Structure 1
Amino acid sequence: MAMHLYHINMLYLLWLLPLPAALFIYAARKRRQAVQALALSGGNAVKPLIGRRLWWRPVLIIIGLIFLIIALARPAWNRKDVVIKRSGRDVVFMLDVSRSMLAEDLRPNRLTQAKMAIKDTIASLNGDRVALVTFA
């Protein structure tokens, strides 16, 4: 089972991961200094926070970024190139769905007549690709 990466250049983004890691370390040091300064000023409520470590959140974020970058590289196993022959035409129907289409000068109304005409035309198409665009 050989693995193939469709966008191997995305792996160069791994070189950027030390930047968020450095930001997390910097923020942790600043937070620790602020808590220590508050604790030294006589705040008894913050003393339990000094020994508390919140290391797992930045680690999980970095691991998530690693997996995201690997996903951007689009790994694939047992790659087989398949040639798909497309035949037929591309048909696009433009359908007005504004209130004016509810006028009953045609039975039952213009919108229903247009929908029936589109259905009949689609039924007669073989192997053609169809798109419907509505507008008001």
Structure 2
Amino acid sequence: MNHREFFNRMAPQWDEQVRHDACKLSRIVTALSLQPGERVLDIGTGTGVMLPYLRQALGMLGELTAIDVAEEMLARARAKHSELALFLQADASLLPQAENSVDAILCYSVFPHFEQPQAVLSEFARVLRAGGRLVVAHGESRAAINALH
């Protein structure tokens, strides 16, 4: 079973199985140093846990795109937060954004799942503008993540 299949299968119960610390989530978004009006990608958005935090930091003028490889995760994120972001199904190693078009990228609780992390990082470098920011963060310990998966 590949990652897309796994996360599609897990989507219906994901929000009940995974807990997030609101203080940690706020600190992660603060680390991005977002400014109103910027363009931001939430890579591996899952069910959209970070979208309200990102939208609050960006304001309504900012462009927020939620990207996930699993269409079931995206469907749940869209159902909860349809007004907060644009939702796109895509592989992080093949993003649909143009070169130098993004101000910030957030990878929350997703980076260990990338099958080709080097290709993903190259793609991030391609789409980030000069001076753009990347935050890779996880809210759980390695042991907790391994127990879940």
Please classify the TM superposition score into its range, dividing by the shorter chain length: under 0.3
TM-score scaled to structure 1, two decimals?
A: 0.19
Could you state the TM-score of these two structures normalised by the residue count of structure 2? Answer: 0.18
* Structure having the larger proportion of residues in helix: 1
Name the structure where strand makes up a greater proportion of residues: 2
User: If you compute each CA radius of gyration, which structure gives the higher value, 1 or 2?
Assistant: 1
